Amino acid sequence: MKKQIAFDCALVTEYMMQHELEQMAPKVRQAHDMLSAGTGPGGKHTGWIRWPEVYNRAEYARIKRTGETIRNRAEAFIVIGIGGSYLGARAAIEMLCPAFYNQWSRACRKAPEVYFAGHQMSASYTANLLRLIEEKEVYINVISKSGTTLEPALAFRLFRELLEKRYGKEGARKRIIVTTDNTHSPLKKIAEREGYETFGIPDNIGGRYAVLTSVGLLPMAVAGIDVDTVLAGAADAVRLCGTPDVDGNPAYRYAALRRLFYDKGKTIELLASYEPGLRYVAEWWKQLFGESEGKDGKGIFPASLHFSTDFHSMGQYVQEGRRDLFMTTLWVEALREQITVPQMADDTDGLGYLSGVSLHEMNRKACEGAMLAHTQGGVPNLRIIVPEATPYYFGQLVYFFEKACGISGYLFGVNPFDQPGVEAYKRNMFRLLGKPKTM
């Protein structure tokens, strides 16, 4: 039987009495009932809850076929999107593909180089990316549920122009894939007019909860990630995170503890990881919880740290700064690669006592030492243990966080499926850019 993601809260007993958690149980049960029945705020956007079990099989087969075609033909694959339209796919690729993925030979990768655009408006970044792919066979996937978000819309215009100049209209048509709203998106209208292959984003699933739809699965498939196993892990997580009780459901226990910490003045959560490949898992997590909880003057501020690197920059603050923090460590138990410290005749560096010890084991001791030190310093520590960095556990981890986030939003009394504050900057930006009011 496969191991499951584990949630460890053993170090928070001095911050949390058992009766406090027990008193949260009825509120968690109420949140569970609203989420499951779709009767809470934003309930029409809870299609992700059963998605790993009820996903569209016909479209999924097309995702796999298209992914294989691009994987075999493209030298560079450009994912154009922002926020939930790209963070999940990037998290998967960074976590599951080897470090320096794009620098490996095509023979080792067995897939194209993967790059991202449309997640900012930097002229230098975009110009350098366009220059980088000048001599490469290029396919692009533009992802936008609304089809009107400025950053990916601009990038799509630039890359579409590049493909049409290089391959002509017909050649570009074969190399552009659109992922968008099934009915209302302007991007959908462009795709229909131009004849681009199109994948739909379900109406009842918002962008930041859409990793396990075509939004994330097509880029994963292009990169050679086993998407069958991703969905299998997520489907198992539906069952793992399906019970309504705090004790038996790790996602609900995590959500309940976060809310209790918040009530005790711990308003900032630091997601810490010890593997560089988890950096974009943390970026996706920040958007998931930040956009879902941060409204109505409420919410925990999500931030991330990457250890042991950040021990040497932020470690001091965590240990002795303001005590409004708590930390959740994302720990991968077993790694595919192992490196041990070599034995050397000359021990001038004083590291002879570490000869034969693996770097991963040293990372483990650093993690355990930091969790103890931070807890003793007034920063409660939680830990999420991922057995391995594999597609199965990526799918499980995504669903764990999504379920915890939905429950947490309801515990805060907000709608975890809208983002009204995001529109404020857009209105000002478009006004300053002189956008006609009729558009």
Domain containing residue 140: CATH number: 3.40.50.10490
Please state whether beta strands 113-117 and 76-80 pair in parallel, antiparallel, or not at all (unpaired): parallel
Rounded Cα distance, 306 and 236, in Å:
28
H or E element at residue 237: helix 227-240
Is residue 220 domain-shared with residue 300, that is, in the same domain?
Answer: no
Is residue 128 domain-shared with residue 255, that is, in the same domain?
Answer: no
426 is catalytic: yes
Is residue 222 domain-shared with residue 235, that is, in the same domain?
Answer: no
Is residue 372 domain-shared with residue 296, that is, in the same domain?
Answer: yes
Is residue 265 domain-shared with residue 387, that is, in the same domain?
Answer: yes
The Cα-based distances of 250 to 23, 299, 414 in angstroms read: 17, 20, 22
Token pair belonging to 284: 């996706």
Last residue of a domain, one of 226, 261, 295: 226
Catalytic residue among 189, 264, 298, 426: 426
Q: Which of 242, 250, 227, 204 is nearest to 51 (CA)?
A: 204
Q: Is the pTM of this model over 0.85?
A: yes
Domain that holds residue 145: 50-226
In contact, 52 and 238? CB cutoff 8 Å = yes
Is residue 73 domain-shared with residue 87, that is, in the same domain?
Answer: yes
Tens place of pLDDT for every residue, the chain, 439 residues? 789 999 999 999 888 888 999 999 999 999 999 999 999 999 999 999 999 999 999 999 999 999 999 999 999 999 999 999 999 999 999 999 999 999 999 999 999 999 999 999 999 999 999 999 999 999 999 999 988 899 999 999 999 999 999 999 999 999 999 999 988 889 999 999 999 999 999 999 999 999 999 999 999 999 999 999 999 999 999 999 999 989 999 999 999 999 999 999 999 999 999 999 999 999 999 999 999 999 999 999 999 999 999 999 999 999 999 999 999 999 999 998 999 999 998 999 999 999 999 999 999 999 999 999 999 999 999 999 999 999 999 999 999 999 999 999 999 999 999 988 777 777 777 777 778 876 5
Assigned domain for 432 exists? no
27 is catalytic: no
The Cα-based distances of 375 to 14, 408, 423 in angstroms read: 9, 23, 38
Assigned domain for 158 exists? yes
The Cα-based distances of 361 to 113, 197, 332, 337, 348 in angstroms read: 32, 47, 12, 12, 23
Catalytic residue among 113, 269, 283, 291: 291
